[in-house]
Amino acid sequence: MRPLTHPSIDDITVEGILHALSDPVRAAIYAQLACADAANSCSAFLQMEDRSIPKSTLSQHFRALREAGLIRSERRGVEMLNSTRCEEIAQRFPGLLQAIMQSYKTQLGARKPAARRRAKAG
């Protein structure tokens, strides 16, 4: 197996973070990891909200998050455990992740009432 590479904190860029989190699935994965008390395996994300995500697609999402410097991945046997690098990133870009995650939560809150209205109409 190839070793996993993680960018040094000095190589993490705002553009890379924004690009990685621009995908709704990656944003959802990161939000769940950021709220977790411990590292999560990739398999914990095979079912997200109302859809299943193929393992190959999930691997690509985790790779994008890792290459952007947002998460740290560690192999443990057959599992890959993932955790955020929030503290490191907060030192480099104070307030950035908090602002992104707060905006993400606000956006989710706005979507839920609209989804309920569509369900009632249909």
Looking at residue 118, what is its pLDDT? Answer: 52
Residues 39-53: tens digit of each pLDDT = 999 889 998 877 899
Looking at residue 117, what is its pLDDT? Answer: 55
pTM here is 0.86
Q: Which residues pair with 40 in a beta bridge?
A: 82
Lowest mean pLDDT among 25-29, 36-40, 77-81, 116-120: 116-120
Arithmetic mean of pLDDT over the chain: 89
Domains of the chain with CATH codes: 9-116 (1.10.10.10)
* Confidence bin at 4 (pLDDT 50/70/90): confident
**DSSP character string of 11-75:** G--HHHHHHHHTSHHHHHHHHHHHH-SS-EEGGGGSEETTEE--HHHHHHHHHHHHHTTSEEEEE
For residue 31, CA distances in Å to 21, 35, 98, 101, 120 come to: 10, 6, 11, 7, 28
